[in-house]
Amino acid sequence: MGLENKKKFLTNFCYYGILLAGGALALKFGWEYLTPFVIAFIVSFCLKPVVNRVNIYFKIKRSVSAIVCVAAFYLLTGVVISLIGVQVILFIRNMFFVLPDYYNNEIAPLVSDWLHRIQRFVVTIDPEVTATVEEYIISLLDNLGQWVSSLSVTMLSKFSASIVAVPGLFIKTLITIIATFFISVDYYEITFFIARQLNTKQISLLYDAETYAKTALVQYIKSYSLILFITFAEIAAGLWLLGVKRAVLIAMLIAVFDILPAVGTGGIIIPWGIISIALGDVFMGIGLLALYLIVTVVRNTLEPKIVGEQVGLHPVATLMAMFLGSKIMGIIGLFGFPIALVILTKLNDSGKIKLFK
């Protein structure tokens, strides 16, 4: 490589590196303010075929069709989120509210019984350490009780603090809904306005990107449906082997929770396993924890591979895009970055843009 080529390479590397870093920083710090409008545009884009079908089938104005479809979408979404959210909130609140009493009445006697068994065993080996072991047991039980009480108070405080954030979340949600109505009603006017600012080549690029985005979105839905089914099958088989009644129904509910990033399968299986061990059902507890480990390993191994194969990306590229997206933009970035990478790859392969060979 000649000196000029090296200079050109370094210049391009620094230029695109600065652009990439600047874009990442802009997304990370500006995303909070753009989120309602980005979500509104994505929802409008996804509802566009439905709006058009309703418009043609019922022979009503497109604006009326858009309003009806958007209202129905958010109403259905609100009902589903409310039903699930209320149950989750009540479960979490009640669990940590009764945790100290449950510990004192159920767990502490069981732990005390096991510790005294250990004490009797140690005494048979060396009677001189009886006082030391007894003092240690009392101290351990006191510390464990204080930790449980502290955990309960801390979690209830965090739960109460999270309620304070509800007004801000409500405002963002309201802005998102209003923006969705406006964008859906004037979707073509908005997209035509954007198109008028571009030249013919850029318009062609934009339409190609839209086509690739639709294809990638469909493939994404297929891939995560497969991942969800695999997770359900693993949990159902594991619970059945552990002798859990209604294993299929419980596995179905846990698999649904797996969709939620903040909860996942661990939010159900891990506490279940720990409580089972604390209540003396060691086989069930260890089995549940082992099941969670298997499900997690299988999912983390298969997810990049399945998604990558469906959307046409290498598993490493998919994993990197998912990781960076989740760190920069949260749950939307987790799905959005791989789709954006698919669009860029397809445009590069078709010769529309030149990013890499």
pLDDT tens figures, 125-134: 566 666 666 6
In this predicted structure, which of 49-63, 136-150, 242-256 has the lowest mean pLDDT? 136-150
pTM for this predicted structure: 0.64
- Whether the per-residue pLDDT at 1 is higher than 70: the answer is no
The total number of residues written for the chain in this structure: 357
- Whether the per-residue pLDDT at 69 is higher than 90: the answer is yes
- Whether the per-residue pLDDT at 7 is higher than 80: the answer is no
Q: What is the mean pLDDT of residues 325-354?
A: 80
* pLDDT tens profile 249-262: 888 878 877 766 55
User: What is the distance between the alpha carbons of residues 353 and 357, in angstroms, rounded to a whole number?
Assistant: 11
* pLDDT tens profile 223-251: 888 988 999 999 999 999 998 888 888 88
User: What is the distance between the alpha carbons of residues 86 and 325, in angstroms, rounded to a whole number?
Assistant: 29
**pLDDT computed for residue 171 by the predictor:** 86
What does the angle CA 188 – CA 194 – CA 195 come to, to the nearest 5 degrees? 85
**pLDDT computed for residue 302 by the predictor:** 87
Question: What distance separates the 2 farthest-apart alpha carbons in the chain?
Answer: 92
Instruction: List, in sequence order, the alpha helices (H) in the chain.
Output: 3-58, 62-97, 99-102, 108-125, 130-164, 166-185, 187-196, 200-241, 247-257, 266-278, 282-311, 315-349
